[in-house]
A and B are shown apart, each in its own frame.
Chain A
Protein backbone atom coordinates (compact mmCIF):
# COMPACT_ATOMS: atom_id res chain seq x y z
CA UNK A 1 0.00 0.00 0.00
CA UNK A 2 1.28 3.43 -0.86
CA UNK A 3 2.08 5.43 2.25
CA UNK A 4 3.03 8.50 0.26
CA UNK A 5 1.61 9.18 -3.17
CA UNK A 6 2.82 12.23 -5.08
CA UNK A 7 1.06 13.02 -8.33
CA UNK A 8 2.01 15.55 -11.02
CA UNK A 9 3.77 17.73 -8.46
CA UNK A 10 4.78 21.07 -9.88
CA UNK A 11 6.77 23.67 -7.94
CA UNK A 12 7.77 27.09 -9.24
CA UNK A 13 10.11 29.79 -7.99
CA UNK A 14 8.64 32.86 -9.64
CA UNK A 15 8.51 32.00 -13.34
CA UNK A 16 11.04 29.18 -13.05
CA UNK A 17 9.52 25.72 -12.99
CA UNK A 18 11.81 23.87 -10.62
CA UNK A 19 9.70 20.71 -10.49
CA UNK A 20 7.87 19.92 -13.70
CA UNK A 21 5.03 17.62 -12.71
CA UNK A 22 6.62 14.57 -11.12
CA UNK A 23 4.84 11.51 -9.72
CA UNK A 24 6.26 8.97 -7.33
CA UNK A 25 5.21 6.83 -4.43
CA UNK A 26 6.64 5.33 -1.29
CA UNK A 27 5.12 2.10 0.03
CA UNK A 28 4.85 1.15 3.66
CA UNK A 29 8.13 -0.23 5.00
CA UNK A 30 10.22 0.75 1.99
CA UNK A 31 13.40 2.75 1.65
CA UNK A 32 13.01 4.90 -1.46
CA UNK A 33 15.72 7.22 -2.76
CA UNK A 34 15.63 10.21 -5.06
CA UNK A 35 19.02 10.62 -6.64
CA UNK A 36 20.12 13.45 -8.83
CA UNK A 37 22.78 16.07 -9.38
CA UNK A 38 22.98 19.46 -7.69
CA UNK A 39 20.03 21.58 -8.75
CA UNK A 40 17.97 18.67 -10.04
CA UNK A 41 15.17 19.60 -7.64
CA UNK A 42 15.62 17.01 -4.89
CA UNK A 43 15.44 19.39 -1.94
CA UNK A 44 12.63 21.38 -3.57
CA UNK A 45 10.65 18.15 -3.93
CA UNK A 46 11.24 17.20 -0.30
CA UNK A 47 10.35 20.62 1.05
CA UNK A 48 7.18 20.96 -1.00
CA UNK A 49 5.95 17.47 -0.04
CA UNK A 50 6.31 18.29 3.66
CA UNK A 51 4.61 21.68 3.18
CA UNK A 52 7.53 24.04 3.69
CA UNK A 53 7.26 25.51 0.20
CA UNK A 54 4.01 25.88 -1.74
CA UNK A 55 3.03 23.59 -4.62
CA UNK A 56 1.90 25.07 -7.94
CA UNK A 57 -0.16 22.03 -8.83
CA UNK A 58 -0.45 18.30 -8.27
CA UNK A 59 -1.49 16.32 -5.23
CA UNK A 60 0.13 14.63 -2.26
CA UNK A 61 -1.64 11.84 -0.38
CA UNK A 62 -0.07 10.65 2.87
CA UNK A 63 -1.43 7.71 4.84
CA UNK A 64 -4.89 8.26 3.39
CA UNK A 65 -4.92 12.04 4.02
CA UNK A 66 -4.82 14.59 1.23
CA UNK A 67 -2.03 16.88 2.44
CA UNK A 68 -1.61 18.92 -0.74
CA UNK A 69 -2.58 22.14 1.00
CA UNK A 70 -1.88 21.18 4.63
CA UNK A 71 0.60 23.42 6.48
CA UNK A 72 3.86 21.80 7.53
CA UNK A 73 3.23 21.65 11.28
CA UNK A 74 -0.02 19.75 10.75
CA UNK A 75 1.66 17.29 8.39
CA UNK A 76 4.17 16.57 11.14
CA UNK A 77 1.30 15.77 13.51
CA UNK A 78 0.03 13.25 10.94
CA UNK A 79 3.30 11.33 11.21
CA UNK A 80 5.68 12.61 8.57
CA UNK A 81 8.82 14.54 9.31
CA UNK A 82 12.10 15.39 7.71
CA UNK A 83 15.76 15.66 8.56
CA UNK A 84 16.42 18.75 6.50
CA UNK A 85 19.40 19.46 4.30
CA UNK A 86 22.21 20.95 6.35
CA UNK A 87 20.78 19.27 9.51
CA UNK A 88 19.39 22.55 10.89
CA UNK A 89 19.56 21.55 14.52
CA UNK A 90 18.76 24.31 17.03
CA UNK A 91 22.25 25.62 17.68
CA UNK A 92 21.38 27.60 20.80
CA UNK A 93 19.58 24.75 22.54
CA UNK A 94 21.29 21.86 24.30
CA UNK A 95 21.32 18.35 22.85
CA UNK A 96 18.62 17.37 25.33
CA UNK A 97 16.47 20.40 24.47
CA UNK A 98 16.79 19.60 20.76
CA UNK A 99 15.44 16.13 21.47
CA UNK A 100 12.63 17.68 23.54
CA UNK A 101 11.76 19.80 20.50
CA UNK A 102 11.70 16.59 18.46
CA UNK A 103 8.93 15.30 20.72
CA UNK A 104 7.01 18.60 20.43
CA UNK A 105 4.20 17.05 18.37
CA UNK A 106 3.67 14.13 20.76
CA UNK A 107 0.38 14.51 22.62
CA UNK A 108 1.21 11.73 25.04
CA UNK A 109 4.41 12.69 26.85
CA UNK A 110 4.47 9.50 28.97
CA UNK A 111 6.72 7.68 26.52
CA UNK A 112 9.23 10.52 26.43
CA UNK A 113 11.65 9.02 28.93
CA UNK A 114 11.76 5.69 27.06
CA UNK A 115 12.16 7.39 23.69
CA UNK A 116 14.99 9.47 25.07
CA UNK A 117 16.75 6.40 26.45
CA UNK A 118 16.33 4.67 23.08
CA UNK A 119 17.95 7.63 21.31
CA UNK A 120 20.82 7.73 23.79
CA UNK A 121 21.37 3.98 23.29
CA UNK A 122 21.34 4.33 19.52
CA UNK A 123 23.60 7.42 19.63
CA UNK A 124 25.90 7.08 22.65
CA UNK A 125 27.71 10.29 21.65
CA UNK A 126 24.53 12.25 22.24
CA UNK A 127 24.18 10.77 25.73
CA UNK A 128 27.72 11.91 26.55
CA UNK A 129 26.92 15.40 25.34
CA UNK A 130 23.29 15.79 26.37
CA UNK A 131 23.82 19.08 28.21
CA UNK A 132 26.16 20.56 25.63
CA UNK A 133 24.94 23.42 23.41
CA UNK A 134 24.18 21.79 20.06
CA UNK A 135 26.03 24.42 18.03
CA UNK A 136 29.31 23.17 19.50
CA UNK A 137 28.87 19.59 18.25
CA UNK A 138 30.91 18.24 15.35
CA UNK A 139 29.26 17.75 11.97
CA UNK A 140 28.78 14.03 12.52
CA UNK A 141 27.31 14.54 15.97
CA UNK A 142 24.97 17.19 14.58
CA UNK A 143 23.75 14.73 11.96
CA UNK A 144 23.12 12.13 14.67
CA UNK A 145 21.23 14.75 16.67
CA UNK A 146 19.16 15.75 13.64
CA UNK A 147 18.20 12.11 13.07
CA UNK A 148 17.53 11.51 16.76
CA UNK A 149 15.42 14.65 16.94
CA UNK A 150 13.34 13.53 13.95
CA UNK A 151 12.59 10.04 15.27
CA UNK A 152 11.50 11.44 18.66
CA UNK A 153 8.15 12.18 16.97
CA UNK A 154 7.68 8.51 15.94
CA UNK A 155 7.18 9.33 12.27
CA UNK A 156 5.50 6.79 10.02
CA UNK A 157 7.48 8.31 7.18
CA UNK A 158 10.89 9.84 7.71
CA UNK A 159 12.41 11.93 4.95
CA UNK A 160 16.14 12.54 5.01
CA UNK A 161 17.69 15.21 2.81
CA UNK A 162 21.38 14.59 2.09
CA UNK A 163 22.19 13.01 5.45
CA UNK A 164 25.73 12.11 4.35
CA UNK A 165 26.66 15.60 3.17
CA UNK A 166 29.96 16.88 4.51
CA UNK A 167 30.73 13.80 6.61
CA UNK A 168 33.88 11.67 6.66
CA UNK A 169 33.67 8.27 4.85
CA UNK A 170 33.54 6.44 8.17
CA UNK A 171 30.62 8.54 9.37
CA UNK A 172 28.86 8.19 6.01
CA UNK A 173 28.84 4.40 6.47
CA UNK A 174 27.52 4.85 9.98
CA UNK A 175 24.73 7.13 8.82
CA UNK A 176 23.57 4.61 6.21
CA UNK A 177 23.67 1.84 8.83
CA UNK A 178 21.46 3.93 11.11
CA UNK A 179 19.00 4.63 8.30
CA UNK A 180 18.74 0.87 7.69
CA UNK A 181 18.18 0.32 11.41
CA UNK A 182 15.45 2.96 11.64
CA UNK A 183 13.75 1.32 8.66
CA UNK A 184 13.97 -2.13 10.28
CA UNK A 185 12.16 -0.73 13.31
CA UNK A 186 9.19 -0.06 11.03
CA UNK A 187 9.70 3.48 9.75
CA UNK A 188 9.25 4.08 6.05
CA UNK A 189 12.11 6.10 4.56
CA UNK A 190 12.31 8.60 1.73
CA UNK A 191 15.91 9.54 1.10
CA UNK A 192 17.52 12.20 -1.05
CA UNK A 193 21.19 11.68 -1.76
CA UNK A 194 24.05 12.65 -3.98
CA UNK A 195 25.92 9.60 -2.77
CA UNK A 196 24.14 7.37 -5.29
CA UNK A 197 26.23 4.25 -4.68
CA UNK A 198 25.61 3.99 -0.95
CA UNK A 199 21.97 5.03 -1.11
CA UNK A 200 21.04 2.65 -3.96
CA UNK A 201 22.64 -0.19 -1.99
CA UNK A 202 20.17 0.22 0.88
CA UNK A 203 17.12 1.23 -1.22
CA UNK A 204 14.19 -0.93 -2.21
CA UNK A 205 13.38 1.43 -5.05
CA UNK A 206 14.78 4.66 -6.43
CA UNK A 207 13.96 7.51 -8.78
CA UNK A 208 16.43 9.55 -10.80
CA UNK A 209 15.61 13.25 -10.90
CA UNK A 210 17.05 15.47 -13.64
CA UNK A 211 16.10 19.11 -14.20
CA UNK A 212 12.89 18.75 -12.25
CA UNK A 213 11.72 15.58 -14.01
CA UNK A 214 11.90 11.91 -13.16
CA UNK A 215 13.89 10.26 -15.92
CA UNK A 216 14.35 6.76 -14.55
CA UNK A 217 12.93 4.49 -11.89
CA UNK A 218 13.54 0.96 -10.69
CA UNK A 219 14.71 -1.12 -7.79
CA UNK A 220 17.91 -0.08 -6.03
CA UNK A 221 19.96 -2.80 -7.67
CA UNK A 222 18.44 -2.22 -11.13
CA UNK A 223 19.43 1.42 -11.02
CA UNK A 224 22.85 0.66 -9.56
CA UNK A 225 23.60 -1.48 -12.62
CA UNK A 226 21.93 0.84 -15.13
CA UNK A 227 24.33 2.25 -17.71
CA UNK A 228 22.93 5.76 -17.39
CA UNK A 229 23.13 5.91 -13.60
CA UNK A 230 26.64 4.44 -13.60
CA UNK A 231 27.84 7.06 -16.07
CA UNK A 232 26.15 10.05 -14.45
CA UNK A 233 26.24 9.30 -10.73
CA UNK A 234 28.61 6.48 -9.96
CA UNK A 235 31.69 7.73 -11.75
CA UNK A 236 31.64 5.26 -14.67
Chain B
Protein backbone atom coordinates (compact mmCIF):
# COMPACT_ATOMS: atom_id res chain seq x y z
CA UNK B 1 0.00 0.00 0.00
CA UNK B 2 2.82 2.33 0.90
CA UNK B 3 4.32 1.69 -2.54
CA UNK B 4 1.05 2.41 -4.34
CA UNK B 5 0.49 5.59 -2.32
CA UNK B 6 3.98 6.80 -3.12
CA UNK B 7 3.51 6.01 -6.79
CA UNK B 8 0.26 7.99 -6.92
CA UNK B 9 1.75 10.91 -5.03
CA UNK B 10 4.71 10.85 -7.39
CA UNK B 11 2.42 11.13 -10.39
CA UNK B 12 0.50 13.93 -8.73
CA UNK B 13 3.51 16.04 -7.75
CA UNK B 14 5.18 15.17 -11.05
CA UNK B 15 2.05 16.26 -12.87
CA UNK B 16 2.28 19.69 -11.28
CA UNK B 17 5.95 19.94 -12.28
CA UNK B 18 5.00 18.85 -15.79
CA UNK B 19 2.34 21.53 -16.00
CA UNK B 20 4.87 24.21 -15.08
CA UNK B 21 7.54 22.62 -17.30
CA UNK B 22 5.17 22.90 -20.28
CA UNK B 23 5.32 26.68 -19.93
CA UNK B 24 9.12 26.68 -19.98
CA UNK B 25 9.39 24.28 -22.87
CA UNK B 26 6.73 25.89 -25.09
CA UNK B 27 8.18 29.36 -24.65
CA UNK B 28 11.67 28.00 -25.30
CA UNK B 29 10.52 26.15 -28.40
CA UNK B 30 8.78 29.14 -29.90
CA UNK B 31 10.54 32.26 -28.65
CA UNK B 32 13.93 30.51 -28.15
CA UNK B 33 14.31 32.02 -24.70
CA UNK B 34 14.37 30.77 -21.10
CA UNK B 35 11.64 32.61 -19.24
CA UNK B 36 12.98 32.52 -15.71
CA UNK B 37 10.07 34.64 -14.54
CA UNK B 38 7.79 31.69 -15.25
CA UNK B 39 8.00 30.32 -11.68
CA UNK B 40 6.88 33.65 -10.28
CA UNK B 41 3.68 33.50 -12.31
CA UNK B 42 2.78 30.63 -9.95
CA UNK B 43 3.18 33.00 -7.02
CA UNK B 44 1.05 35.68 -8.72
CA UNK B 45 -1.61 33.04 -9.39
CA UNK B 46 -1.63 32.03 -5.73
CA UNK B 47 -1.90 35.64 -4.64
CA UNK B 48 -4.84 36.27 -6.97
CA UNK B 49 -6.57 33.23 -5.47
CA UNK B 50 -6.06 34.51 -1.92
CA UNK B 51 -7.33 37.93 -2.99
CA UNK B 52 -10.52 36.64 -4.64
CA UNK B 53 -11.17 33.73 -2.26
CA UNK B 54 -13.54 35.69 0.03
CA UNK B 55 -15.79 36.32 -2.98
CA UNK B 56 -16.02 32.76 -4.29
CA UNK B 57 -13.43 29.97 -4.69
CA UNK B 58 -14.40 29.17 -8.28
CA UNK B 59 -14.27 32.84 -9.26
CA UNK B 60 -10.85 33.00 -7.58
CA UNK B 61 -9.48 30.13 -9.68
CA UNK B 62 -10.86 31.54 -12.94
CA UNK B 63 -9.50 35.00 -12.06
CA UNK B 64 -6.05 33.50 -11.38
CA UNK B 65 -5.94 31.71 -14.73
CA UNK B 66 -7.18 34.70 -16.73
CA UNK B 67 -5.06 37.31 -14.95
CA UNK B 68 -1.92 35.16 -15.18
CA UNK B 69 -2.47 34.65 -18.91
CA UNK B 70 -2.78 38.42 -19.32
CA UNK B 71 0.30 38.95 -17.14
CA UNK B 72 2.28 36.52 -19.31
CA UNK B 73 1.25 38.37 -22.47
CA UNK B 74 2.13 41.75 -20.90
CA UNK B 75 5.54 40.58 -19.70
CA UNK B 76 6.33 39.34 -23.21
CA UNK B 77 5.15 42.59 -24.81
CA UNK B 78 6.91 44.93 -22.40
CA UNK B 79 10.08 43.08 -21.44
CA UNK B 80 10.94 40.46 -24.07
CA UNK B 81 9.55 41.68 -27.39
CA UNK B 82 11.86 44.73 -27.60
CA UNK B 83 14.76 42.29 -27.20
CA UNK B 84 13.80 40.05 -30.09
CA UNK B 85 17.00 39.46 -32.02
CA UNK B 86 19.18 40.64 -29.12
CA UNK B 87 21.80 38.35 -27.59
CA UNK B 88 20.35 35.43 -25.58
CA UNK B 89 22.26 36.63 -22.52
CA UNK B 90 20.44 39.98 -22.54
CA UNK B 91 17.08 38.21 -22.71
CA UNK B 92 18.07 35.80 -19.92
CA UNK B 93 19.12 38.63 -17.61
CA UNK B 94 15.90 40.49 -18.40
CA UNK B 95 13.90 37.38 -17.46
CA UNK B 96 15.72 37.15 -14.13
CA UNK B 97 15.01 40.85 -13.63
CA UNK B 98 11.30 40.32 -14.28
CA UNK B 99 11.37 37.49 -11.74
CA UNK B 100 12.80 39.74 -9.01
CA UNK B 101 10.41 42.52 -10.00
CA UNK B 102 7.37 40.26 -9.53
CA UNK B 103 8.64 38.97 -6.19
CA UNK B 104 9.42 42.45 -4.90
CA UNK B 105 6.08 43.83 -6.01
CA UNK B 106 4.33 40.95 -4.27
CA UNK B 107 6.33 41.63 -1.13
CA UNK B 108 5.34 45.29 -1.16
CA UNK B 109 1.66 44.51 -1.74
CA UNK B 110 1.20 41.33 0.30
CA UNK B 111 3.90 41.70 2.91
CA UNK B 112 6.79 39.33 3.58
CA UNK B 113 5.02 36.79 5.79
CA UNK B 114 3.63 33.55 4.37
CA UNK B 115 -0.15 33.36 4.39
CA UNK B 116 -2.30 30.31 4.96
CA UNK B 117 -4.87 29.52 2.35
CA UNK B 118 -8.22 27.82 2.79
CA UNK B 119 -9.06 27.13 -0.84
CA UNK B 120 -9.78 23.46 -0.14
CA UNK B 121 -12.03 24.25 2.84
CA UNK B 122 -13.95 26.80 0.77
CA UNK B 123 -14.37 24.45 -2.19
CA UNK B 124 -15.31 21.28 -0.29
CA UNK B 125 -16.75 22.19 3.13
CA UNK B 126 -19.15 19.21 3.13
CA UNK B 127 -16.47 16.72 2.19
CA UNK B 128 -14.26 17.85 5.06
CA UNK B 129 -17.03 17.17 7.57
CA UNK B 130 -17.04 13.49 6.64
CA UNK B 131 -13.37 13.05 5.73
CA UNK B 132 -10.83 14.42 8.18
CA UNK B 133 -7.98 16.24 6.41
CA UNK B 134 -9.65 15.65 3.04
CA UNK B 135 -8.38 12.09 2.98
CA UNK B 136 -10.27 9.17 1.51
CA UNK B 137 -9.53 5.83 3.19
CA UNK B 138 -10.24 2.49 1.53
CA UNK B 139 -9.06 -0.28 3.80
CA UNK B 140 -5.43 0.54 4.55
CA UNK B 141 -5.13 2.73 1.46
CA UNK B 142 -5.18 6.51 1.90
CA UNK B 143 -5.51 9.13 -0.80
CA UNK B 144 -6.18 12.86 -0.58
CA UNK B 145 -9.03 14.31 -2.60
CA UNK B 146 -6.63 17.04 -3.75
CA UNK B 147 -4.38 14.33 -5.21
CA UNK B 148 -7.27 12.86 -7.20
CA UNK B 149 -8.20 16.32 -8.49
CA UNK B 150 -4.58 17.00 -9.42
CA UNK B 151 -4.25 13.73 -11.34
CA UNK B 152 -7.48 14.44 -13.21
CA UNK B 153 -6.47 18.03 -14.05
CA UNK B 154 -3.02 16.96 -15.22
CA UNK B 155 -4.49 14.25 -17.44
CA UNK B 156 -6.99 16.68 -18.98
CA UNK B 157 -4.29 19.32 -19.57
CA UNK B 158 -1.86 16.84 -21.16
CA UNK B 159 -4.45 15.30 -23.48
CA UNK B 160 -5.97 18.69 -24.27
CA UNK B 161 -2.65 20.34 -25.06
CA UNK B 162 -1.50 17.42 -27.19
CA UNK B 163 -4.75 17.53 -29.19
CA UNK B 164 -4.50 21.32 -29.48
CA UNK B 165 -0.99 21.14 -30.90
CA UNK B 166 -1.70 18.20 -33.21
CA UNK B 167 -5.20 18.96 -34.42
CA UNK B 168 -5.74 22.70 -34.57
CA UNK B 169 -4.50 25.22 -37.09
CA UNK B 170 -2.97 27.37 -34.36
CA UNK B 171 -1.30 24.35 -32.78
CA UNK B 172 0.29 23.34 -36.07
CA UNK B 173 1.42 26.93 -36.59
CA UNK B 174 3.13 26.72 -33.19
CA UNK B 175 5.05 23.61 -34.26
CA UNK B 176 5.95 25.34 -37.53
CA UNK B 177 7.18 28.50 -35.78
CA UNK B 178 9.24 26.49 -33.30
CA UNK B 179 10.93 24.69 -36.17
CA UNK B 180 11.47 27.52 -38.65
CA UNK B 181 10.18 31.05 -38.06
CA UNK B 182 10.98 32.26 -41.57
CA UNK B 183 9.28 29.37 -43.32
CA UNK B 184 6.26 29.76 -41.03
CA UNK B 185 6.01 33.43 -42.02
CA UNK B 186 6.10 32.37 -45.66
CA UNK B 187 2.95 30.34 -44.94
CA UNK B 188 1.31 33.53 -43.68
CA UNK B 189 1.76 32.81 -39.97
CA UNK B 190 1.95 35.90 -37.75
CA UNK B 191 4.86 34.93 -35.50
CA UNK B 192 4.11 37.68 -32.97
CA UNK B 193 0.61 36.41 -32.29
CA UNK B 194 1.86 32.82 -32.00
CA UNK B 195 4.41 33.95 -29.39
CA UNK B 196 1.63 35.82 -27.57
CA UNK B 197 -0.61 32.73 -27.53
CA UNK B 198 2.29 30.63 -26.24
CA UNK B 199 2.92 32.97 -23.32
CA UNK B 200 -0.80 33.04 -22.55
CA UNK B 201 -1.07 29.23 -22.49
CA UNK B 202 2.13 28.79 -20.47
CA UNK B 203 1.07 31.34 -17.87
CA UNK B 204 -2.46 29.95 -17.63
CA UNK B 205 -0.95 26.52 -16.94
CA UNK B 206 1.27 28.05 -14.25
CA UNK B 207 -1.85 29.50 -12.61
CA UNK B 208 -3.52 26.11 -12.78
CA UNK B 209 -0.45 24.50 -11.19
CA UNK B 210 -0.64 27.18 -8.53
CA UNK B 211 -4.30 26.30 -7.89
CA UNK B 212 -3.40 22.64 -7.42
CA UNK B 213 -0.57 23.55 -5.02
CA UNK B 214 -2.95 25.72 -3.00
CA UNK B 215 -5.53 22.94 -2.98
CA UNK B 216 -2.89 20.72 -1.40
CA UNK B 217 -2.49 23.24 1.40
CA UNK B 218 0.58 25.15 0.18
CA UNK B 219 1.04 28.47 1.99
CA UNK B 220 1.26 31.65 -0.03
CA UNK B 221 4.75 33.17 0.07
CA UNK B 222 6.46 35.59 -2.32
CA UNK B 223 9.15 33.03 -3.19
CA UNK B 224 6.79 30.06 -3.42
CA UNK B 225 7.31 29.86 -7.19
CA UNK B 226 11.10 29.69 -7.09
CA UNK B 227 11.73 26.06 -6.16
CA UNK B 228 8.86 24.54 -8.18
CA UNK B 229 9.97 26.82 -11.05
CA UNK B 230 13.54 25.57 -10.94
CA UNK B 231 12.41 21.95 -10.55
CA UNK B 232 10.04 22.32 -13.50
CA UNK B 233 12.84 23.87 -15.54
CA UNK B 234 14.98 20.87 -14.59
CA UNK B 235 12.12 18.60 -15.68
CA UNK B 236 11.88 20.41 -19.03
CA UNK B 237 15.62 19.98 -19.62
CA UNK B 238 15.58 16.32 -18.55
CA UNK B 239 12.73 15.64 -20.98
CA UNK B 240 14.35 17.69 -23.73
CA UNK B 241 13.69 21.42 -23.75
CA UNK B 242 11.40 22.48 -26.58
CA UNK B 243 9.59 19.13 -26.56
CA UNK B 244 6.05 19.04 -25.18
CA UNK B 245 5.97 15.26 -24.47
CA UNK B 246 9.47 15.72 -23.03
CA UNK B 247 8.24 18.24 -20.46
CA UNK B 248 5.42 15.89 -19.45
CA UNK B 249 7.80 12.95 -19.09
CA UNK B 250 10.47 14.99 -17.28
CA UNK B 251 7.93 16.31 -14.78
CA UNK B 252 6.57 12.85 -13.98
CA UNK B 253 10.08 11.40 -13.64
CA UNK B 254 11.03 14.16 -11.23
CA UNK B 255 7.87 13.73 -9.15
CA UNK B 256 8.36 9.96 -8.87
CA UNK B 257 12.01 10.36 -7.91
CA UNK B 258 11.08 12.89 -5.27
CA UNK B 259 8.39 10.71 -3.66
CA UNK B 260 10.35 7.48 -3.77
CA UNK B 261 13.45 9.17 -2.37
CA UNK B 262 11.31 10.38 0.53
CA UNK B 263 9.81 6.93 1.02
CA UNK B 264 13.29 5.41 1.09
CA UNK B 265 14.29 7.81 3.84
CA UNK B 266 16.38 10.27 1.82
CA UNK B 267 13.99 13.12 2.57
CA UNK B 268 16.67 15.77 3.03
CA UNK B 269 18.46 14.77 -0.13
CA UNK B 270 15.56 14.83 -2.61
CA UNK B 271 16.57 18.09 -4.28
CA UNK B 272 20.18 16.94 -4.56
CA UNK B 273 19.04 13.64 -6.08
CA UNK B 274 16.81 15.47 -8.57
CA UNK B 275 19.58 17.75 -9.78
CA UNK B 276 21.99 14.79 -9.94
CA UNK B 277 19.57 13.15 -12.34
CA UNK B 278 19.67 16.30 -14.45
CA UNK B 279 23.46 16.13 -14.58
CA UNK B 280 23.44 12.43 -15.49
CA UNK B 281 20.87 12.95 -18.25
CA UNK B 282 22.86 15.87 -19.64
CA UNK B 283 26.05 13.79 -19.64
CA UNK B 284 24.44 10.82 -21.37
CA UNK B 285 22.09 12.65 -23.73
CA UNK B 286 22.71 16.41 -23.81
CA UNK B 287 19.47 17.08 -25.72
CA UNK B 288 17.35 15.47 -22.97
CA UNK B 289 15.39 12.23 -23.11
CA UNK B 290 13.02 13.21 -25.94
CA UNK B 291 14.96 16.20 -27.27
CA UNK B 292 16.03 16.24 -30.87
CA UNK B 293 19.17 17.72 -32.24
CA UNK B 294 18.27 20.58 -34.52
CA UNK B 295 20.23 21.99 -37.34
CA UNK B 296 20.74 25.69 -36.67
CA UNK B 297 19.60 27.75 -39.60
CA UNK B 298 20.94 31.11 -40.58
Interfacial chain A residues near B297, Cβ < 8 Å: 86, 88
- The tally of residues in A whose CB lies under 8 Å from a CB in B reads 28
A82 and B187 alpha carbons, distance in the complex (Å): 9
Q: Would you call A149 and B188 a contact (CB within 8 A)? A: no
Q: Would you call B187 and A102 a contact (CB within 8 A)? A: yes
Identify A93's interface contact among B176, B186, B188, B189, CB under 8 A. B176
A72 and B169 alpha carbons, distance in the complex (Å): 19
Q: Would you call B189 and A104 a contact (CB within 8 A)? A: yes
| Residue B162 interfacial (CB < 8 Å) | no
Contact with B along A116-149 (1 / 0, CB 8 A): 0000000000000000000000000000000001
Q: Would you call A90 and B180 a contact (CB within 8 A)? A: yes
A88 and B187 alpha carbons, distance in the complex (Å): 11
| Residue A44 interfacial (CB < 8 Å) | no
Q: Would you call B175 and A90 a contact (CB within 8 A)? A: yes
Could you tell me the distance in whole angstroms from the C-beta of B196 to the nearest C-beta in chain A? 14
Contact with A along B168-179 (1 / 0, CB 8 A): 010011011001
Contact with B along A71-104 (1 / 0, CB 8 A): 1110011000110101011111100010011101
Q: Decide yes or no: A76 and B185 within 8 Å by CB, A88-B297, A92-B179 being known contacts.
A: yes
Interfacial chain B residues near A100, Cβ < 8 Å: 169, 172
Q: Decide yes or no: A153 and B176 within 8 Å by CB, A52-B182, A88-B182, A104-B169 being known contacts.
A: no
A residues with CB within 8 A of B: 47, 50-52, 71-73, 76-77, 81-82, 84, 86, 88-93, 97, 100-102, 104-105, 149-150, 153
29 residue pairs bridging A and B, Cβ less than 8 Å apart:
A51-B185, A52-B182, A71-B190, A72-B185, A73-B189, A73-B190, A73-B191, A76-B186, A76-B187, A76-B188, A81-B186, A81-B188, A82-B186, A84-B183, A84-B186, A86-B297, A88-B180, A88-B183, A88-B297, A90-B176, A90-B179, A92-B175, A93-B176, A100-B172, A101-B173, A104-B187, A105-B188, A149-B187, A153-B187
